[in-house]
């Protein structure tokens, strides 16, 4: 069902984020060693590091790619209170032969007074725009009006969340019928049990982002948050990584005639809550069509969640380490560890062995 290949990452410290580009042929990693590495996939499917450079003066928490319509652009954010935008410069022919490329910093966003914990580009139909969130509880939205000049970014909005922010997610819904929407999660551990997920929506009249909803039921620190890609649903789906995995639907309620121009109100339902990780859940991520959610937790597992054709969410797969130390050989390339015989498929059932080991 799954096969794994390993690449020697070569970061000198913990990797905090990994990110694929839009087409899945490039990836970026960022680390506490303050650097970002970019990897390219060759025709044969091998990954090579084509750039590695120091990006910040502190741990780099997240790295993310802009849509390729804007070119080859990355953004990173760091403990050093800044976020930065990087652009790839087409290299000299020598570099190309060596398979190296150069990334230059186009801008540094220095408005935050505290560690910047997340940076995400907005959906492409909004232009070249990104949002950052910081431990000081402020979400900042920047825009580059001229996509050919990436050194000019202006701070368009500052949204105060009143809680230390840990993660943000733009609603990727590409329909212009939906106003831009951004969800913010907080890992604030102060005793005020305030709801840790807030949703802000852009108001065309006031030209500002206003709070649309707070998810009152999420009171534990939130580590990651992700809107699902929209296949044409009238409602939104939001996944949250907190002490468990939670999936919410947000159905826009028809605006009252009297409060025209106000923010949309939403009917919020929780459609799934899974504590299978039995521990803090750190990351959630959707596949392209928003039909499968993956989550990772303190139990060292990545779990996959899928709704069947009756809209019931279930776990459809678990990827887990077996606790033994990592294979000592640190060579690059495909070590291709073959799967053990726990492949749950028809063949083993024909042979009479049980269909996969089941864990409680």
Partner 1 sequence: MLGQEQQLICVNSKKKQMCFEWGPGEMLVCETSFNKTDKSEKVPSCPFIYLIRKDVDVYSHILRKLFNESHGIFVGLQRIEEELTGKSRKTQLVRVSKNYRSVIRACMEEMHQLAIASKDPACGHQFSSQVSILSAMELIWNLCEILFIEVAPAGPLLLHLLDWVRLHVCEVDSLSADVLGSENPSKHESFWNLVTVLVLQGRLDEARQMLSKEADANPPSAGMCHILGDLMRTMPILSPGNTQTLTELELKWQHWREECERHLQDNTFAASPHLESLCKIMLGDEATLLEQKELLSNWYHFLVTRLLYSNPTVKPIDLHFYAQSSLDMFLGGESSPEPLDNILMAAFEFDIHQVIKECSIALSNWWFVAHLTDLLDHCRLLQSHNLYFGSNMREFLLLEYASGLFAHHSLWQLGVDYFDYCPELGRVSLELHIERIPLNTEQKALKVLRICEQRQMTEQVRSICKILAMKAVRNNRLGSALSWSIRAKDAAFATLVSDRFLRDYCERGCFSDLDLIDNLGPAMMLSDRLTFLGKYREFHRLYGEKRFADAASLLLSLMTSQIAPRSFWMTLLTDALPLLEQKQVIFSAEQTYELMRCLEDLASKKPESGQPDAQRLQDDIETTKVEMLRLALARNLARAIIREGSLEGS
Give, as ranges, the residues between 233 and 272 that touch partner 1 (CB under 8 A): none
How many residues of this chain bind partner 1 (CB under 8 A)? 103
Residue among 203 and 285 whose Cβ is closer to partner 1: 285
Residue 318 sits at the vertex; the CA angle it makes with 328 and 268, to the nearest 5 degrees, is: 135
Rounded Cα distance, 89 and 100, in Å: 11
Q: Is 70:147 a contact under the CB 8 Å cutoff?
A: yes
Least Å distance between CB 220 and partner 1?
14
Rounded Cα distance, 98 and 333, in Å: 17
Q: Scan residues 74-93 and list those touching partner 1 (CB under 8 A).
A: 79, 88, 90
Q: Scan residues 291-320 and list those touching partner 1 (CB under 8 A).
A: 291, 294, 296-302, 308-310, 314-320
Residue among 209 and 274 whose Cβ is closer to partner 1: 274
How does DSSP assign 270-289, residue by residue?
Answer: EEEEE-TT-S-EEEEEE-TT
Q: Is 116:103 a contact under the CB 8 Å cutoff?
A: no
Rounded Cα distance, 58 and 227, in Å: 29
Tokens 């804007």 identify what position? 70
Instruction: Pick the piece of the chain touching partner 1 (CB under 8 A) from 57-65, 192-200, 201-209, 246-254.
Output: 57-65
Q: Scan residues 315-344 and list those touching partner 1 (CB under 8 A).
A: 315-327, 330, 337, 339-340, 342-344
Give yes or no for residue 29 binding partner 1 (CB under 8 A). yes
Least Å distance between CB 204 and partner 1?
22
Q: Scan residues 144-173 and list those touching partner 1 (CB under 8 A).
A: 148, 166
What is the CB neighbour count within 10 angstroms for residue 167?
25
Least Å distance between CB 16 and partner 1?
6
Give yes or no for residue 52 binding partner 1 (CB under 8 A). no
Least Å distance between CB 87 and partner 1?
9
Instruction: Pick the piece of the chain touching partner 1 (CB under 8 A) from 188-196, 243-251, 262-270, 284-292.
Output: 284-292
CB burial of 260-287 (b: ≥16 within 10 Å; e: otherwise) equals: eeebbbbebeeebebebbeebbebbebe
**Sign, CA torsion 150/152/156/159:** positive
The site map against partner 1 for 167-206 (x = CB under 8 A) is --------------------x-------------------
């Amino acid at each position: 069902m799954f096969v794994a290949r390993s690449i020697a990452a070569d970061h000198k410290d913990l990797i905090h984020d990994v990110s694929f580009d839009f087409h899945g042929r490039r990836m970026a990693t960022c680390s506490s060693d303050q650097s970002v590495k970019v990897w390219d996939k060759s025709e044969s499917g091998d990954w090579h590091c084509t750039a590695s450079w120091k990006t910040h003066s502190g741990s780099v928490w997240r790295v993310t790619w802009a849509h390729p319509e804007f070119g080859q652009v990355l953004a990173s954010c760091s403990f050093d209170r800044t976020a930065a935008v990087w652009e790839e410069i087409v290299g000299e022919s020598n570099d190309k032969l060596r398979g190296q490329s150069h990334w230059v910093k186009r801008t540094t966003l220095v408005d935050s007074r505290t560690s910047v914990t997340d940076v995400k580009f907005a959906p492409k139909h909004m232009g070249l725009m990104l949002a950052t969130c910081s431990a000081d509880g402020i979400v900042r939205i920047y825009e580059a009006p001229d996509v050919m000049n990436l050194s000019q970014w202006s701070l368009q909005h500052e949204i105060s969340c009143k809680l230390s922010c840990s993660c943000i997610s733009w609603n990727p819904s590409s329909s212009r019928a939906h106003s831009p929407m951004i969800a913010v999660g907080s890992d604030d551990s102060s005793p005020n049990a305030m709801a840790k997920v807030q949703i802000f929506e852009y108001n065309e009249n006031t030209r500002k982002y206003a709070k649309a909803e707070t998810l009152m039921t999420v009171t534990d620190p939130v580590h990651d948050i992700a809107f699902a890609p929209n296949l044409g649903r009238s409602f939104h789906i939001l996944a949250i990584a907190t002490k468990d995995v939670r999936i919410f639907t947000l159905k826009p309620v028809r605006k009252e005639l009297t409060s025209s121009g106000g923010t949309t109100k939403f009917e919020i339902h929780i459609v799934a809550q899974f504590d299978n990780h039995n521990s803090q859940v750190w990351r959630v991520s959707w596949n392209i069509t928003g039909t499968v959610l993956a989550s990772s937790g303190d139990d060292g597992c990545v779990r996959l969640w899928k709704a069947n054709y009756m809209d019931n969410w279930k776990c459809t797969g678990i990827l887990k380490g077996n606790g033994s130390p990592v294979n000592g050989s640190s060579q690059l390339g495909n070590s291709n560890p073959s799967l053990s015989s726990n492949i749950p498929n028809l063949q083993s059932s024909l042979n009479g062995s049980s269909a996969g080991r089941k864990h409680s």
